[in-house]
Structure 1
């Protein structure tokens, strides 16, 4: 028996990085998985990989900056499989901006991807669960930077801090519907997206991971597969009645000072 046997799991932003790791972990635990993304190539490649391993999976092309497409991603999975049991919001925009140089356009981009898309995907998924009078689970991938973060992450922090509040609000609102909603504040993780971010915004070279690891307590960055295992636990019955929790998945301790 897998932790997610016969569950229909939608991973928004699931074509690469943490989302793709969650998709792989979910199918290993018996789930049928749908992943969304803007670019068909990586999404379809992931689905082909999962299908080759004997798992049912589908790719939904969606630009999550558009709230209607975020909602429609849920509707498309419901049309294909009849329901959505679990939703993971893993898409994220991490482009840089400070309080002083962030433009309204950049701010709106962060709100659209990091807050608005999860809001309306959750709206559609919860509506499906309530309509069917069935329980469900949702996990939002957030960030430890939502506690304050670096100065160059101002719009990102603003949006992700909002997602923390949304996670708790929605969990409270739908606890009597037996819909459990939790979040993970993840720390520095080695993903394709982080590699691009370090090279684009910080001029990092090929050794940036090694340099970063030397500054971290555990001597390495987090791995997507580790986060994926935690997400699967929260999606499954193994996490019991836990809801409204936003867990710091990080190797630095909030409030700890040397």
Structure 2
């Protein structure tokens, strides 16, 4: 038996990076997986990959910057399968901006993807769980930068810190509904999106991963599959009664000084 046998799990932002790794891990543990994305090609390719491995999956095309589509992504899963048991909010926008150069437009983009989309996806998922009077689990993929972050991440940090607060607020509000809501503050991770970010905003070359690894205590960046295993644990009954926890999944220790 898998940890998520016959659970219906939606992974928002699940067509690449950490989200795709979560989708693979959830399917491997027996879940029926739905993934969202703006572009159908990577999403449908992932669904085909999961199906070829014996899993059950569907792709939901959605622009999560649109609050209506964020909620509708859940509604589409409920229409297809009759319910939703688990939600993972893994979509993220990491474009750069400081306090002094961030425009209102850039700020709103970060709020839309990094905070508003999870809010309305959670709203729709929790509504279905409450309607059915059944338990459920939600995991928000956040960031260790929510503790403060670098100066060039000002709008990103503002939105993700809001998601930390939302995670705890929603967990508290729905603990008596047996809906467990937790978050992961992930550290520096080797993903396709991070590769594009390093090249676009920091002029990084092909060796940026090696240079970054040399600066980290464990000598390497985090891997999406490792995060995915942790997310699956939080989605499953093996994480017990844990709710309202925002776990630092990182190799740097908050408050530690050399």
Q: TM-score, normalised by structure 2?
A: 1.00
Instruction: Determine the C-alpha separation between the residues in 2 that align with 1:41 and 1:255.
Output: 43
Aligned ranges 1:1-258 → 2 under 5 Å: 1-258=1-258
Instruction: Determine the C-alpha separation between the residues in 2 that align with 1:71 and 1:35.
Output: 14
Q: After TM superposition, give the deviation of residue 131 of structure 1 in Å.
A: 0.3
Number of equivalences:
258
Q: After TM superposition, give the deviation of residue 174 of structure 1 in Å.
A: 0.1
Q: Deviations over 1:216-247 (max 9, x none)?
A: 00000000000000000000000000000000
Q: After TM superposition, give the deviation of residue 188 of structure 1 in Å.
A: 0.0
Instruction: Determine the C-alpha separation between the residues in 1 that align with 2:52 and 2:142.
Output: 31
Q: Deviations over 1:147-181 (max 9, x none)?
A: 00000000000000000000000000000000000
Instruction: Determine the C-alpha separation between the residues in 2 that align with 1:230 and 1:52.
Output: 24
Q: TM-score, normalised by structure 1?
A: 1.00
Instruction: Determine the C-alpha separation between the residues in 2 that align with 1:228 and 1:125.
Output: 20
Instruction: Determine the C-alpha separation between the residues in 1 that align with 2:120 and 2:40.
Output: 22
Instruction: Determine the C-alpha separation between the residues in 2 that align with 1:70 and 1:192.
Output: 23
Instruction: Determine the C-alpha separation between the residues in 2 that align with 1:65 and 1:14.
Output: 15
**SS of the residue aligned with 2:139?**
strand
Q: After TM superposition, give the deviation of residue 110 of structure 1 in Å.
A: 0.1
Where structure 1 has 5 or more consecutive residues not aligned to the other structure, the ranges are none
Q: After TM superposition, give the deviation of residue 208 of structure 1 in Å.
A: 0.2
Q: Deviations over 1:165-217 (max 9, x none)?
A: 00000000000000000000000000000000000000000000000000000
Q: After TM superposition, give the deviation of residue 57 of structure 1 in Å.
A: 0.2
Where structure 2 has 5 or more consecutive residues not aligned to the other structure, the ranges are none
Instruction: Determine the C-alpha separation between the residues in 2 that align with 1:245 and 1:63.
Output: 28
Q: Deviations over 1:44-66 (max 9, x none)?
A: 00000001111110000000000
Q: After TM superposition, give the deviation of residue 38 of structure 1 in Å.
A: 0.4
Instruction: Determine the C-alpha separation between the residues in 1 that align with 2:8 and 2:115.
Output: 23
Q: Deviations over 1:65-120 (max 9, x none)?
A: 00000000000000000000000000000000000000000000000000000000
Instruction: Determine the C-alpha separation between the residues in 1 that align with 2:251 and 2:45.
Output: 32
Instruction: Determine the C-alpha separation between the residues in 2 that align with 1:83 and 1:103.
Output: 40
Q: After TM superposition, give the deviation of residue 32 of structure 1 in Å.
A: 0.3
RMSD of Structure 2 on Structure 1 (CA): 0.3
